[in-house]
């Protein structure tokens, strides 16, 4: 009986790593070992249930990596700059005068060095695949020095080549392009529906400069498999389409049937509240992309997908847009969902969850309100029994969420609640994507709103996040409510951008 080869996947619960797991999990010639910091997490348990050997390891702990790499034939290495940057435990770690993204750059590079050095010690290792990005500082001759989330990986790649030549003789480098889900989740690129019904996209990218577009949580696995099937020493730019933003929007319009608008925002200008060192990071990032290219420039030695034999089997951008059903979902999920939960929490703190179809018609909307009214003995105000208004302070950095909260309560129980929307720090990050960070951010906002000493009956914190499941994107929010006597309750709201046939995250 032939012994199965072992591929060790770092970041197995993430986008790129999860895609690699999916590409090998059903292959009878391979067994998969997934590396994660928290083997007790829901995602890790799901992997275990699918037959993945889940092993705990910390990229800062070389001993744990050595144990996780034992007997590996292939190692896929990926790191997470934004996970480090957004971790609240790291907020105070930079030295005086050092920006957080600069500190994160050093930290991510060191994590990759740890991976490289430990992988070099694995005697059974046949191939090492590293996920990296082009280095703007070097490629621009020092013109763009602030793109820390690129340079951190490029610096580690250079370290491996210079310090571990035997490992590098077994190495291939995977350079994923611009993530397609940025068009849904990035605050700059998210489409918005205008009053005229058109869908508007905005971007710092030049509208007529070609960009490598990839669905990282679907395509990374096929690219890694293709690299393993090719001799080592090859780098490949990962993309399913090499098109301009203008072409992407044209495809979007064709697939969805929506009229579209495309707005170019010069690098350094933003359609969202971008603060501190991130302004310089993103400004240089997009300027580099426009001048040199996210693939590293025309002189880059990295191969294109069609130059890999056999090439990775990928779907199209059209397929990706169809799979998201993003506009259908955004219109079918009424803003009242969050507000109904807030009402429920403010009154009793009992977690009731409504499915998304249940909010799509006014009849269902009225039914749910009636159920709530009976369950909680709520009464709509009447002329005979005018209500005593309660003040709700809603804390979020998102003005539309605050407005939706006010509008939702006004529709359900008119004149019963007064609102004050404030922006307070979540003390977590600018973009808390993990479930734990998002809940912590919502809790912190509610507590900080209460600490602002605004006299109110309830203080509400709202924070949003993003997760993936089998290639689908789930946008979610945690809502935390505090009353005068402490925490009243919490609820998790989901908006599901689903692939065909998948309606839950």
Q: How far apart are CA 224 and CA 209, in angstroms?
A: 27
Output the pLDDT for position 480. 80
Q: How far apart are CA 170 and CA 122, in angstroms?
A: 12
**What percentage of the chain carries pLDDT values higher than 90?**
50
Output the pLDDT for position 328. 44
Does the residue 282 lie in any domain? yes
32 pLDDT above the threshold of 70: yes
502 pLDDT above the threshold of 70: no
Cα 465 from chain centroid? 7
483 pLDDT above the threshold of 50: yes
Does the residue 125 lie in any domain? yes
- Tens of pLDDT, residue by residue over 135-169, are 999 999 999 999 999 999 999 999 999 999 999 99
Q: Which of 145-159, 394-408, 421-435 has the highest mean pLDDT?
A: 145-159
The residue among 324, 349, 381 that closes a domain is: 324
**Same domain (yes/no): 334, 192:** no
**Same domain (yes/no): 297, 249:** yes
230 pLDDT above the threshold of 90: yes
Q: How far apart are CA 224 and CA 239, in angstroms?
A: 12
Does the residue 166 lie in any domain? yes
Mean pLDDT of 200-215: 93
Confidence category of residue 503, pLDDT binned at 50, 70, 90: very low
424 pLDDT above the threshold of 50: yes
Cβ-based neighbours of 2, under 8 Å, separated by 6 or more: 29
The residue among 298, 324, 350 that closes a domain is: 324
Confidence category of residue 414, pLDDT binned at 50, 70, 90: low
Sheet-wide strand order for 211-214: 178-179, 211-214, 241-243
**Same domain (yes/no): 389, 284:** no
Q: How far apart are CA 70 and CA 64, in angstroms?
A: 10
**Same domain (yes/no): 76, 189:** yes
Cα angle: 5, vertex 10, 12; to 5 degrees: 90
**Same domain (yes/no): 320, 345:** no
Domain that holds residue 477: 329-497
Sequence-separated contacts (24+) of 184-192 with Cβ below 8 Å: 184/324, 184/326, 184/473, 184/475, 184/497, 185/466, 185/473, 185/475, 187/271, 187/272, 187/431, 188/265, 188/270, 188/271, 188/272, 191/252, 191/260, 191/326, 191/327
Does the residue 113 lie in any domain? yes
**Same domain (yes/no): 287, 358:** no
- Tens of pLDDT, residue by residue over 265-281, are 888 888 777 778 889 99
Does the residue 222 lie in any domain? yes
| Residue 61: how many other CB atoms lie within 10 Å | 15
Q: Which contiguous run of DSSP H or E holds residue 168?
A: helix 165-168
Does the residue 164 lie in any domain? yes
**Same domain (yes/no): 347, 320:** no
Comparison of pLDDT for 297 and 449, the residue scoring more: 297
| Residue 382: how many other CB atoms lie within 10 Å | 8
Output the pLDDT for position 403. 61
410 pLDDT above the threshold of 80: no
**Same domain (yes/no): 297, 238:** yes
CATH number at residue 41: 3.40.50.720
Does the residue 503 lie in any domain? no
**Same domain (yes/no): 337, 304:** no
Q: Indicate the pairing of strand 192-193 with strand 199-203.
A: antiparallel
Number of domains in the chain: 2
The residue among 275, 301, 324 that closes a domain is: 324
Confidence category of residue 494, pLDDT binned at 50, 70, 90: low
Does the residue 502 lie in any domain? no
Mean pLDDT of 56-64: 97
Output the pLDDT for position 342. 46
464 pLDDT above the threshold of 50: yes
**Same domain (yes/no): 292, 349:** no
Q: How far apart are CA 322 and CA 305, in angstroms?
A: 23
Pick from 89-98, 169-178, 255-264, 297-306: least confident = 255-264
**Same domain (yes/no): 268, 335:** no
Output the pLDDT for position 432. 62
Output the pLDDT for position 209. 92
User: How many helices (H) and strands (E) are present in the chain, helices listed first?
Assistant: 18, 18
Sheet-wide strand order for 260-264: 192-193, 199-203, 260-264
Output the pLDDT for position 50. 92
Q: How far apart are CA 100 and CA 266, in angstroms?
A: 24
Confidence category of residue 377, pLDDT binned at 50, 70, 90: very low
340 pLDDT above the threshold of 70: no
**Same domain (yes/no): 381, 367:** yes
CATH number at residue 489: 3.90.950
- Tens of pLDDT, residue by residue over 86-139, are 888 998 999 999 999 999 999 999 999 999 999 999 999 999 999 999 999 999
In 215-343, DSSP assigns E strands to: 235-238, 241-243, 260-264
78 pLDDT above the threshold of 50: yes
42 within 8 A of 474, measured Cβ to Cβ: no
Start-to-end C-alpha separation, the chain: 38
């Amino acid at each position: 009986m032939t012994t199965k080869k072992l591929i060790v996947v770092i970041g197995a619960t993430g986008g790129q790593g999860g895609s690699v797991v999916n590409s090998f999990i059903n292959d009878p010639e391979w067994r998969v070992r997934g590396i994660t910091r928290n083997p007790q997490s829901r995602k890790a348990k799901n992997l275990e249930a699918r037959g993945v050997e889940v092993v705990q390891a910390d990229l800062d702990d070389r001993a744990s990596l050595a144990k996780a790499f034992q007997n590996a034939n292939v190692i896929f290495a990926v790191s997470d700059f934004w996970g480090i940057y957004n971790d609240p435990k790291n907020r105070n770690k930079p030295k005086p005068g050092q920006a957080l993204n600069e500190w994160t750059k050093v930290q991510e590079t060191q994590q990759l060095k740890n991976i490289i050095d430990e992988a070099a010690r694995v005697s059974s290792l046949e191939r090492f695949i590293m996920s990296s990005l082009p280095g703007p500082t070097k490629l621009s001759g020092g013109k763009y020095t602030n793109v820390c989330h690129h340079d951190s990986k490029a610096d580690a790649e250079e370290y491996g080549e210079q310090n571990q030549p035997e490992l590098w003789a077994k190495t291939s480098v995977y350079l994923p392009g611009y993530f397609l889900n940025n068009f849904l989740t990035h605050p700059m690129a998210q489409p918005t529906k205008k009053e005229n019904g058109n869908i508007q996209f905005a971007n710092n990218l030049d509208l007529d400069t070609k960009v490598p577009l990839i669905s990282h949580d679907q395509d990374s696995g096929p690219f890694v498999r293709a690299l393993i099937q090719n001799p080592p020493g090859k780098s490949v730019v990962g993309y399913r389409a090499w098109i301009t933003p203008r072409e992407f929007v044209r495809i979007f319009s064709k697939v969805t049937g929506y009229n579209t608008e495309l707005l170019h925002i010069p690098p350094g200008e933003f359609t969202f509240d971008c603060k501190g060192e991130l302004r310089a990071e993103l400004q240089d990032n997009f300027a580099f992309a426009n001048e040199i290219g996210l693939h590293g420039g025309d002189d880059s030695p990295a191969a294109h997908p069609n130059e890999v034999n056999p090439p990775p089997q990928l779907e199209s951008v059209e397929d990706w847009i169809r799979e998201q059903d993003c506009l259908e979902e955004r219109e079918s999920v009424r803003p009242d969902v969050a507000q109904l939960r807030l009402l429920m929490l403010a009154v009793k703190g009992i977690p009731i969850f409504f499915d998304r179809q249940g909010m799509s018609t006014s009849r269902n909307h009225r039914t749910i309100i009636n159920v709530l009214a009976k369950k909680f003995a709520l009464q709509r105000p009447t002329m005979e029994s005018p209500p005593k208004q309660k003040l709700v302070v809603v804390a979020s950095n998102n003005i539309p969420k605050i407005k939706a909260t006010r509008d939702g309560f006004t529709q359900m129980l008119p004149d019963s609640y007064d609102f004050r929307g404030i922006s307070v720090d979540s003390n977590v990050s600018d973009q808390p994507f993990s479930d734990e960070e998002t809940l912590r951010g919502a809790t912190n906002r509610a507590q900080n709103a209460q600490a602002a000493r605004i006299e109110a009956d309830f203080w509400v914190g709202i924070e949003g996040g993003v997760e993936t499941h089998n290639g689908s994107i789930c946008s979610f929010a945690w809502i935390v409510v505090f009353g005068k006597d402490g925490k009243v309750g919490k609820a998790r709201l989901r908006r599901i951008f689903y692939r065909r046939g998948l309606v839950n995250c």
